[in-house]
Every structure is written in structure tokens, then in C-alpha cells.
């Protein structure tokens, strides 16, 4: 039987709006067989998700989405089947979260100077003790009537060049790949079409990623057009990379985006899950301790 995979999703541990448990239950209800929880710069949601997955018969892939700065571009790497007990991974993620905390305070100060007080506190309430993301600032700005929706909040306040944007240096590419590999995981370039890189720059990124041990690329993504999928399938073949697929689901507030509703990988792709065939599935249980 063909399994339904969704290998990129978020919970309240970062900027998703469903708890890890509710995310897993929703994925199951949507017919997803294999779900990766890939929160931004944290594995904190994995224990709860693993528990819910065991109860519901869904296979959980322990994942993480790591913020990387590559040649001054923000790039996201997804780590799949990572062992969350790997020390250097956790140390690296803790450092990224500390940078996020400092950035959040600075975003708050800048928005205050722009006549919008209380944003830091407001975003922290939305973050609910989890990783603070620009998404939480966007929710605050919408609540305050400053923006109509997420897109407008980013376009007006949170994107590069806007009053609430704070340039931040995230993990170097080779370090993030090393953390994932050290944790026995597969490193995947997330939503490569989102970075708006020229073809030349994107090929440079993929080449450097591959050189430092990266193994996969998201060919099918919730944020890719059909054309993007084909372009990335071509790159996967050219660079001999495994192909992944994930919705990048953040919650039911975006009804046009649903868990597990993804087109098939284009012909010729080697799915990332072929790499796992026959391996045992012990990390979610270990994740309970983290
Ligand atoms: P951060 O990691 O805190 O910089 O926040 C980035 C997150 O904001 C991404 O993971 C997306 O979930 C969200 N995001 C970025 N750009 C946009 C946008 N234009 N519209 C809606 N959400 C966005
Ligand atoms: Mn996000
Ligand atoms: Mn991302
Ligand atoms: Mn994501």
C-alpha cells in the first residue's frame, strides 16, 4: 500500500497553532501515515507528538527545522530522523533560541519606536513559552488591528527593510548539517524556491550543502508551485540528492493548506524515505526524555 507522507510541519513548540498532540491527531484524520514534526530550532514538541503517534498508529519522524545564514541569506534546513539526544544538536539549537530571544527583544524595541508598543510582550504571549518567531509578532500585529493578515504583517513590519526587521546571524550551513548528521539524521534543504535566489546562487547553495554532507532537498513543498517542484526534481537528479515532501503546515488558520495534501514526487526522484527502509524506528521513544 502506498503510504501518505508529510515531512514538514509545526506545532506550538514553535510557530504552529496546534499542540503536538493535536497536530498528530489531525494528520491521522487527514490520512497521513508518516508525519515529521519539524519545529523551528527546537525538538521540544517531539515527546508529546511521539506519545500521540503511538496511540493513533501514525509513524512520527523526529525532525527539526534549523535557521541558517548562508551568504547573508536566511535558509532553512530540515533534519529528519534526528536523534534528539545528540548533545551538539541540542547545544546548537539552544544557541539559536538564545539568538531568537535577543532578536525578539530588539524587534519589540523597534516596533515601539515605530509607535507600536507592547509587541515583545504580545508576541511572547502568542509563543506560549515556546520558541519566539516573527509569526508571533505577526499575530500580535493582526490582533492590534495593525495588519489585516499574516502577509500584510510581514510586508509592512517584519520583512527585510521594514521597521520591525532585525537582521540576525543564524547557524553556518556546515555546522547545521554537522549537527543533523551527528544526530544520525538526514539534512534536507527546506522549500528551496522560497529563497528567491537566482539559479546560479541556488546551485551554489545546493553544491555547498552537498559538499558538507547534506543529502536531501524538498522537491514537493506546500509553498512550491508545480513548476518549482519540477525545477527542484531536476536539481535533485543533477546533484544526486534524495527528494522530500512536506506541507510546512502551521495550523488550521490557513485553510488552503492542509496536512498530507501534497502532489506525488515527480518521476525519477528517489524519496528520502527509501534511505530509511529497514532501519528501526527508535528515536521517537528516546525523544521522550528531551
Ligand atoms: P522567523 O523564523 O522567526 O524568522 O519567522 C519565520 C516564519 O515566519 C516562517 O517560518 C514562516 O512561518 C513565517 N513567514 C515568513 N514570511 C512570511 C510571510 N510573508 N507570510 C506569512 N508567514 C511568513
Ligand atoms: Mn514557521
Ligand atoms: Mn521554513
Ligand atoms: Mn517550516
DSSP 8-class letter at 48: H
Order across the sheet with 59-70: list the strands: 5-6, 34-37, 59-70, 73-80, 186-189, 216-221, 242-246
Q: Sign of the CA dihedral 207, 210, 211, 212?
A: positive
Cβ neighbours for 4, distance < 8 A, ≥ 6 positions apart? 31, 32, 33, 34, 260
- Per-position DSSP letters for 185-247, written without gaps between them: -EEEE--GGGG---HHHHHHHHHHHHHTT--EEEEEETT--HHHHHHHHHHHHHTT-EEEEE-
* CA atoms of 77 and 186, how far apart (whole Å): 10
Is-contact 91 79, C-beta < 8 A? no
* The pLDDT value given to residue 282: 59
Q: Which ligand is nearest to the CA of 133?
A: 1
The ligand minimizing its distance to the Cα of 139 is 1
Give me ligand 4 centre to Cα 146, in Å: 25
Q: For ligand 4, a single-atom ion, which residues have Cβ within 5 Å?
A: 65, 248
Is 290:90 a contact under the CB 8 Å cutoff?
A: yes
Q: How far is the CA of 36 from the centre of ligand 4 (A)?
A: 11
CB distance 263 to 61 below 8 Å: no
Contacts of 141 (CB under 8 A, 6+ apart): 116, 119, 147, 153, 156, 157, 158
The gap from C-alpha 274 to its chain's centroid, in whole angstroms, comes to 21
168 CA closest ligand 1 atom index? 4
Pocket of ligand 1 (CB under 6 A): 15, 40, 67, 133-135, 150-151, 154, 250
Rounded Cα gap, residues 175 and 67, in angstroms: 11
DSSP 246-281: E--B--TTSTT--TT--PPPPTT--BGGGGGTT---
Cβ neighbours of residue 145 closer than 8 Å, sequence gap 6 or more = none
Ligand with minimal distance to 63 CA = 4
Mutate to test the pocket of ligand 1, among 154, 166, 168, 194 (most ligand atoms within 8 A of CB): 154
3-state secondary structure (DSSP) of residue 290: coil
CA distance 177 to 207: 13
- Whether 104 and 121 have beta carbons less than 8 Å apart is answered as no
User: pLDDT 10s per residue in the chain (290 long)?
Assistant: 899 999 999 999 999 999 999 999 999 999 999 999 999 999 999 999 999 999 999 999 999 999 999 999 999 999 999 999 999 999 999 999 999 999 999 999 999 999 999 999 999 999 999 999 999 999 999 999 999 999 999 999 999 999 999 999 999 999 999 999 999 999 999 999 999 999 999 999 999 999 999 999 999 999 999 999 999 999 999 999 999 999 999 999 999 999 999 999 999 999 999 998 878 665 544 554 45
Contact 32, 259 (CB under 8 A): yes
The pLDDT score that the predictor gives to residue 1 is: 80
pLDDT of residue 59: 97
Q: Which residue's CA lies nearest to atom 13 of ligand 1? A: 135
Residue nearest to atom 12 of ligand 1 (CA): 135
257-277 pLDDT, tens digit per residue, is: 999 999 999 999 999 999 988
Separation of CA 1 and ligand 3 centre (Å): 30
**Which one of the ligands is nearest to 131 CA?**
1
269 C-beta neighbours (distance < 10 Å), count: 23
Amino acid at each position: 500500500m502506498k503510504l501518505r507522507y508529510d515531512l514538514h510541519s509545526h506545532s506550538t513548540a514553535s510557530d504552529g497553532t496546534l499542540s503536538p498532540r493535536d497536530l498528530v491527531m489531525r494528520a491521522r484524520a487527514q490520512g497521513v501515515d508518516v508525519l515529521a514534526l519539524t519545529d523551528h530550532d527546537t525538538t521540544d514538541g517531539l515527546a508529546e507528538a511521539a506519545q500521540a503517534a503511538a496511540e493513533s498508529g501514525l509513524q512520527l519522524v523526529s525532525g527539526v527545522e534549523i535557521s541558517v545564514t548562508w551568504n547573508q541569506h536566511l535558509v532553512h534546513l530540515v533534519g529528519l530522523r534526528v536523534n534528539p539526544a545528540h548533545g551538539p544538536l541540542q547545544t546548537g539549537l539552544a544557541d539559536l533560541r538564545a539568538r531568537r530571544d535577543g532578536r525578539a527583544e530588539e524587534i519589540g524595541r523597534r516596533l515601539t519606536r515605530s509607535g507600536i508598543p507592547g509587541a515583545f510582550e504580545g508576541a511572547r504571549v502568542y509563543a506560549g513559552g515556546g520558541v519566539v518567531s516573527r509569526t508571533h509578532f505577526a499575530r500580535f500585529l493582526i490582533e492590534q488591528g495593525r495588519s489585516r493578515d499574516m502577509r500584510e504583517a510581514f510586508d509592512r513590519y517584519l520583512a527585510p527593510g521594514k521597521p520591525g526587521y532585525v537582521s540576525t546571524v543564524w547557524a553556518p550551513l556546515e555546522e547545521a548539517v554537522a549537527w543533523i548528521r551527528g544526530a544520525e539524521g538526514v539534512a534536507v534543504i527546506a522549500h528551496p524556491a522560497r529563497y528567491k535566489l537566482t539559479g546560479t546562487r541556488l546551485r551554489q547553495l545546493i553544491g555547498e550543502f552537498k559538499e558538507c554532507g547534506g543529502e536531501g532537498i524538498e522537491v514537493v513543498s506546500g509553498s512550491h508551485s508545480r513548476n518549482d517542484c519540477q525545477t527542484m526534481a531536476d536539481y535533485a537528479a543533477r546533484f544526486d540528492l534524495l527528494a522530500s515532501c512536506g506541507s510546512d503546515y502551521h495550523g488550521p488558520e490557513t485553510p488552503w493548506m492542509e496536512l498530507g495534501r501534497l502532489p506525488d514526487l515527480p518521476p525519477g526522484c528517489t524519496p528520502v524515505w527509501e534511505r530509511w527502509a529497514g532501519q528501526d524506528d527508535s528515536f521517537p521513544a528516546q525523544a521522550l526524555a528531551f
